[in-house]
């Protein structure tokens, strides 16, 4: 079988034909080159207005990288024609296999982008002997196409979360769709200010915003204000996972301070190495940690232990069915905490009190909203930004996040290369 036959099966070129397809050796490496020619009488298409025009001249042959075969690089070789276009003047023609000045064929760019979903961009670059830049640009192309072609119909539930981007020491705001059948990243914005989230709603549009039924977020004030203003009809749920993380921070603060005091008084350091005993869910402890926790709990005079018991007691809150009784429980819990003289815990209780209604929305939305989803998606987003992909720029982070979490559509290919 000839290579030309295969090429005609996997990549037909409308208006063009494969001329000579051959193998040559360059610096000890085998390369496959496929020369392309326009069909006889095929008129060049103007890249400015997409109209067929008459030929003006022909440029020197250019190489376009195609999907490698058996470890051999494959290139299309073609001498671009210039069109004498009545409306645009003299312009380079448009060809079906590549975009603008890109020296990668569209098929090869989709191929690289496909692999970039499965491994890091630098791994893709070295596996296919190309550059990180080429991989980045290919993924960017795939993301652009996907964003243009995705549907934003029927979105009812949103999750809003922040992500700390350590490389630039700044926050990003991520908005997810968290409907039962469709969980994906919808939007990314810089920082986590009023302006950031307003930017989302401006892009999302008033009509879609009015159709939202549930929004899940943290108690972060700018988010609360914008959601109330732009989608006041939606049930705004404060995420259980975020409340737990505020509590964990409070316990950590109590413990760290107490450990320091005990140390200063020359007492045996009970509290060193106890951080995870107090922060983990009891059912997740190892047997050894369980013994450690039991010993620790015997010292009920410790502030850390009292804080821990308060945190564990709040677990019962989530098992209520009725928002009314959950509310009664929450009031009692907050009262106990306010009498505990544990300042970081009191801070959390004050916060829960002032957002009482939004927290009770959790019970009103139960069964209709998959609540753990935001946590899961954000965990993945964190892994992506942390991976050493060489994400120096915001653009690269943005592209990587959309690519992995956006569930973006792809064109229908006549042949799938990966």
- Interface residues with Zn ion (CB under 5 A) are 46, 48-49, 85, 87-88
Q: Which is nearer to Zn ion, 16 or 56 (CB)?
A: 56
Q: How far is the CB of 58 from Zn ion (least distance, A)?
A: 18
- Please, are residues 218 and 340 in contact by the beta-carbon 8 Å criterion? no
Residue 46 vs 178, nearer CB to Zn ion: 46
Give 22 or 89: the residue with its C-beta nearer to Zn ion.
89
| Least distance between Zn ion and beta carbon 95 (Å) | 15
88 or 297: CB nearest Zn ion? 88
Nearer to Zn ion, 46 or 277 (CB): 46
Please report how close the Cβ of residue 409 comes to Zn ion at its closest, in angstroms: 30
Closer by beta carbon to Zn ion, 46 or else 186: 46
276, two tokens = 């995870």
| Least distance (Å) between residue 37 CB and Zn ion | 22
Nearer to Zn ion, 56 or 132 (CB): 56
Q: From CA 308, how far away is CA 319, in angstroms rounded? A: 19
Q: H/E/C letters for each residue in the chain?
A: CCHHHHHHHHCCCCCEEEEEEEEEEECCEEEEEEEEEECCCCCCEECCCCCECEEEEEEEEEEEEEEEECCEEEEEEEEEEEEEECCCEEEEECCCCCCCCCCECHHHHHHHHHHCCCCCHHHHHHHCCCCHHHHHHHHHHHHHHHHHHCCCCCCCEEEEEEEEECCCCEEEEEEEEEECCEEEEEEEEECCCHHHHHHHHHHHCHHHHHCCCEEEECCCHHHHHHHHHHCCCCEEEECHHHHHHHHHHHHHHHHHHHHHHHHHCCCCCCCCCCHHHHHCCHHHCCHHHHHHHHHHHCCCCCHHHHHHHHHHHHHHHHHCCCHHHHHHHHHHHHHHHHCCCCHHHHHHHHHHHHCHHHHHHHHHHCCCCCCHHHHHHHHHHHHHHHCCCCCCCHHHHHHHHHHHHCCCCCCCCCCCCC
Nearest-approach distance from CB 82 to Zn ion, in angstroms: 11
Q: Least distance in Å: CB of 90 to Zn ion?
A: 10
Given the complex with Zn ion, which of 86 and 411 has the nearer CB atom? 86
- In whole angstroms, the minimum distance from the beta carbon of 83 to Zn ion comes to 7
Q: Which residues pair with 176 in a beta bridge?
A: 159, 185
CB of 127 to Zn ion, least distance (A): 40
In the bound complex, what is the minimum distance in angstroms from residue 46's beta carbon to Zn ion?
3
Q: Are 74 and 32 in contact, with CB atoms under 8 Å apart?
A: yes
């Amino acid at each position: 079988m000839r290579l030309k036959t295969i090429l005609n099966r996997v990549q037909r070129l409308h208006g063009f034909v494969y001329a000579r397809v051959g193998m040559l050796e360059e610096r000890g490496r085998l390369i496959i080159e496929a020369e392309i020619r326009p069909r006889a009488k095929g008129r060049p298409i103007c890249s400015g207005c997409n109209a067929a025009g008459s030929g003006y001249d022909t440029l020197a042959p250019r190489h376009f990288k195609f999907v490698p075969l058996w470890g051999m690089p494959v290139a299309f070789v073609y001498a671009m024609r210039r069109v004498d276009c009545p409306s645009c003047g003299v312009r380079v023609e448009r060809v079906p296999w590549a975009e603008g000045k890109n020296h990668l064929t569209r098929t090869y760019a989709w191929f690289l982008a496909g692999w970039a979903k499965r491994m890091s961009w630098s791994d893709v670059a070295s596996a296919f002997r190309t550059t990180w830049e080429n991989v980045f640009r290919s993924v960017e192309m795939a993301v652009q196409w996907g964003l243009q072609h995705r549907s934003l119909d029927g979105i009812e539930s949103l999750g809003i979360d922040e992500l700390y981007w350590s490389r630039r020491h700044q926050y990003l705001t991520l908005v997810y769709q968290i409907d039962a059948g469709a969980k994906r990243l919808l939007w990314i914005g810089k920082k986590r200010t009023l302006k950031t989230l307003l930017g989302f709603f401006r892009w999302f549009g008033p009509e879609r915003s009015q159709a939202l039924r549930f929004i899940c977020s943290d108690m972060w004030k700018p988010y609360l204000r914008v959601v109330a203003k732009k989608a006041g009809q939606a049930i705004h749920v404060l995420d259980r996972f975020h409340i737990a993380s505020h509590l964990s921070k409070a316990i950590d603060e109590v413990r760290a301070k107490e450990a320091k005091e005990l140390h200063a008084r020359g007492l045996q350091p009970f509290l060193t190495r106890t951080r995870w005993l107090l922060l983990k869910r009891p059912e997740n402890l190892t047997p050894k940690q369980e013994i450690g926790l039991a010993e620790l709990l015997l010292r009920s005079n410790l502030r850390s232990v009292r804080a821990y018991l308060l945190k564990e007691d709040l677990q019962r809150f989530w098992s209520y069915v009725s928002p009314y009784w959950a509310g009664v429980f929450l009031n009692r819990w907050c009262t106990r905490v306010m009498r505990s003289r544990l300042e970081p815990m009191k801070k959390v209780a004050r916060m829960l009190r002032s957002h009482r209604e939004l927290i009770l929305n959790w019970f009103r939305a139960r069964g209709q909203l998959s609540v753990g989803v935001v946590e899961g998606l954000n965990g993945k987003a964190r892994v992506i930004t942390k991976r050493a992909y060489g994400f120096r720029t915001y653009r690269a982070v943005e592209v990587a996040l959309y690519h992995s979490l956006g569930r973006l559509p792809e064109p229908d290919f006549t042949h799938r290369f990966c």
